[in-house]
């Protein structure tokens, strides 16, 4: 196949990637990308398009193998994609467990979000399914292992699928000359194909004395005891990740960005502020306020050495965990400015690199000893979000191949936040996938929070 990246050598998983093996098994980190078509899409058509994708991105045709206590990516040279087709066209289900009307493809996406990867090795990292839905619609669902693909990777994957479908529908089956293919081939020639994030941190930027690691791990643990959380509904029943979608209009997005510029506030600062204000208002904390733990995921490809192309598919996010105090009377833009400055200062001090090992260790401890978390809930913060929204720009090709809608999100019902916000910028509008753990929290509670967050972002 033209444009295929040949990579057969195995690579040991980095510490962050290996951490995700345990996290995915616990219920957190299964990433889903769903593409809804307004037409019937054939299995052969999808397999050819996905063959182009895994040909350009070797990590997606890898499996995770275990040797002793260590994990390795084993990548096949041969490009082969098999798609399972599931017929749901005769099923008329549009209500969730609480009787709320839902779009069928959202419910199917939730099912896949809660479908675990196998625990027996080798473990695949890329599992596609094609669903036949009512009204002659089709839904392509791709389940991704977090160790192999972060949220930024999903935009690359979707764009590549759409481009391949469009090329083939136009009679152009060759993919030689594709920009992503060229970038990955160049990386292969330099011997730096898909390194772990730890292996490409700029020299000196992750340095921290051994004793300081211990102090910071203890410090994170002690500070977390001050954190307030959302009230739990059911801490005993089996949990699953649930999805709520939300969006601003183009006009509201433009106004928000304009106000961010006027106030000198970043988009991640304003999103965090909206979520924290929504939580404080829901809990009626009054003027006294509460301390909340908030986690921001930073996309690091352009911060590494050597830098990686934005189209590189792998896990290259670093987490920043901060404690933010707020009260109900605090002005929204004051809180947004504090959130923005707090995270920007942490990045300036390289906390995303120096604390990477500490946060990985805390994540492992929470999974091993759930009783260390409030009510054994495995909640480690009140919310998590992205530092920058993932930009999804498919152009007119999407409509040309019948794409009606699409979304990406990750499961969080293992170890994770009370509410995870996945922001995307699509066609100049800010959109979100909100994920929460059920029945730890009810859908009605989370819908109120989502509505409040969107209110702050569009009206305040």
In the chain the domains, ranked by start, together with CATH numbers, are: 11-188 (3.30.559.10), 210-402+409-459 (3.30.559.30)
Residue 5 pLDDT > 60 = no
**Whole-number Å distance between alpha carbons of 437 and 440:** 6
Does residue 355 come out as left (phi exceeding 0), alpha (psi in the -120 to 50 range) or beta? alpha
At what angle are helices 267-283 and 443-459 packed, to 10 degrees?
130
**Whole-number Å distance between alpha carbons of 162 and 402:** 9
pLDDT tier for residue 103 given thresholds of 50, 70 and 90: confident
Of 20-24, 63-67, 221-225, where does mean pLDDT reach its minimum?
221-225
Residue 225 has what pLDDT?
65
Residue 110 has what pLDDT?
95
Task: Say which residue, 394 or 165, is predicted with more confidence.
Answer: 165
**Whole-number Å distance between alpha carbons of 282 and 111:** 29
The answer to whether 447 touches 244, Cβ cutoff 8 Å, is yes
Task: Say which residue, 373 or 432, is predicted with more confidence.
Answer: 432
pLDDT tier for residue 224 given thresholds of 50, 70 and 90: low
Whether the ω angle into residue 122 lies within 30 degrees of 0, i.e. cis, is: yes
Residue 222 has what pLDDT?
46
**Whole-number Å distance between alpha carbons of 402 and 138:** 10
| Average pLDDT of the chain, as a whole number | 87
Residue 77 has what pLDDT?
80
Share of the chain above pLDDT 90, in %: 71
Give tens-digit pLDDT for 287-346: 999 999 999 999 999 999 999 999 999 999 999 999 999 999 999 999 999 999 999 999
Residue 186 pLDDT > 70 = no
Residue 441 pLDDT > 90 = yes
Residue 62 pLDDT > 90 = yes
Q: Quick one: which of 290, 300, 243 has its CA closest to 421?
A: 243
Mean pLDDT of 245-262: 96
What are the residues whose beta carbons fall under 8 Å from the beta carbon of 249, sequence distance 6 or more?
429, 458
pLDDT tier for residue 253 given thresholds of 50, 70 and 90: very high
Residue 212 has what pLDDT?
52
**Whole-number Å distance between alpha carbons of 345 and 328:** 25
**Whole-number Å distance between alpha carbons of 309 and 187:** 9
The answer to whether 337 touches 326, Cβ cutoff 8 Å, is no
């Amino acid at each position: 196949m033209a444009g295929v990246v040949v990579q057969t050598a195995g690579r040991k998983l980095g510490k962050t990637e290996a951490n995700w093996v345990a996290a995915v098994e616990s219920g957190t980190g299964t990433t889903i990308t769903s593409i809804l078509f307004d037409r019937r899409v054939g299995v052969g058509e999808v397999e050819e398009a996905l063959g182009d994708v895994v040909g350009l991105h070797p990590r997606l045709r890898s499996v995770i193998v275990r040797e002793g206590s260590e994990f390795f990516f084993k990548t096949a040279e041969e490009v082969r994609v098999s798609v399972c087709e599931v017929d749901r066209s005769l099923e008329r289900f549009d209500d969730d467990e609480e009787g709320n009307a839902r779009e069928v493809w959202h419910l199917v996406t939730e099912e896949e979000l809660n479908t675990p990867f196998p625990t027996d090795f080798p473990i695949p990292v890329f599992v596609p399914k094609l669903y036949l839905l009512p009204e002659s619609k089709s839904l392509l669902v791709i389940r991704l292992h977090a160790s192999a693909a972060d949220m930024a990777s999903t935009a690359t994957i979707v764009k590549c699928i759409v481009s391949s479908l469009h090329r083939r529908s136009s009679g152009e089956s060759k993919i030689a000359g594709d920009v992503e293919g060229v970038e990955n081939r160049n990386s292969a020639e330099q011997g730096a194909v898909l390194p772990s994030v730890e292996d490409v941190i700029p020299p000196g930027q992750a340095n921290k004395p051994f004793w300081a690691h211990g102090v910071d791990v203890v410090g994170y643990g002690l500070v977390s005891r001050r954190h307030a959380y959302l009230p739990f509904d059911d801490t005993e029943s089996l949990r699953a990740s649930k999805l709520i979608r939300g969006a601003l209009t183009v006009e509201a997005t433009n106004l928000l960005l304009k106000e961010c510029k006027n106030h000198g506030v970043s988009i991640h600062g304003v999103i965090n502020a909206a979520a924290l204000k929504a939580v404080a208002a829901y809990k009626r904390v009054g003027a006294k306020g509460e301390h909340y733990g908030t986690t921001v995921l930073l996309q690091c490809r352009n911060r590494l050495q050597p830098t990686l192309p934005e189209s590189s598919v792998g896990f290259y996010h670093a987490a920043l965990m901060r404690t933010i105090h707020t009260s109900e009377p605090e002005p929204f833009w004051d809180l947004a400015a504090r959130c923005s400055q707090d995270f920007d200062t942490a990045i300036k001090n390289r906390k995303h690199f120096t604390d990477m090992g500490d946060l990985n260790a805390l994540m492992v401890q929470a999974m091993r000893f759930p009783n260390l978390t409030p009510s054994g809930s495995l909640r480690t913060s009140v919310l998590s979000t992205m530092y920058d929204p993932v930009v999804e720009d498919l152009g007119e090709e999407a409509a040309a191949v019948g794409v009606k809608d699409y979304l990406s999100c990750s499961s969080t019902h293992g170890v994770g936040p009370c509410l995870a916000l996945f922001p995307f910028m699509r066609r100049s509008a800010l959109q979100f996938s909100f994920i929460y753990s059920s029945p730890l929290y009810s859908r009605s509670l989370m819908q109120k929070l989502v509505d409040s967050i969107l209110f702050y972002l569009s009206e305040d």
